[in-house]
Amino acid sequence: MFVDVNKNYDTGNPGDTSAVKVQTWNRNVITELEAELSGVEHALTRLEKGIYDTCEQCGNKIDLSEIQEDPLITRCQQHRGCIR
């Protein structure tokens, strides 16, 4: 996941000033960056444990091509949409 700097983080309130909109945008960007950092830290922990390519749901191997496409992936294709 990468932060989309072109994303519109409008507050939905037409009376908000530009400063409020910028503050809202900043808060949302920080939240997205924190989530991405958490995912990276989780991936590094999985790498250290030697389970980086293992599905957290079923234990099956995740295809290397899928990991290359999304290095923060934690589940195989079969379980990608599952909620624990």
pLDDT of residue 25: 85
Task: Report d(CA 73, CA 79) in Å as an integer.
Answer: 11
Kindly report the CATH number assigned to the domain that includes residue 74. Answer: 1.20.120.910
Range of the domain at 41: 18-79
pLDDT of residue 59: 94
Structure tokens at 48: 């250290």
Total domains present in the chain: 1
Within-domain flag for 43: yes
pLDDT of residue 20: 77
Of 20 and 2, the structure prediction assigns the larger pLDDT to: 20
Within-domain flag for 39: yes
Within-domain flag for 62: yes
Task: Report d(CA 80, CA 84) in Å as an integer.
Answer: 11
**Model confidence pLDDT, tens digit, residues 11-57:** 566 666 777 778 888 899 999 999 999 999 999 999 999 999 999 99
DSSP 29-53: HHHHHHHHHHHHHHHHHHHHHT-TT
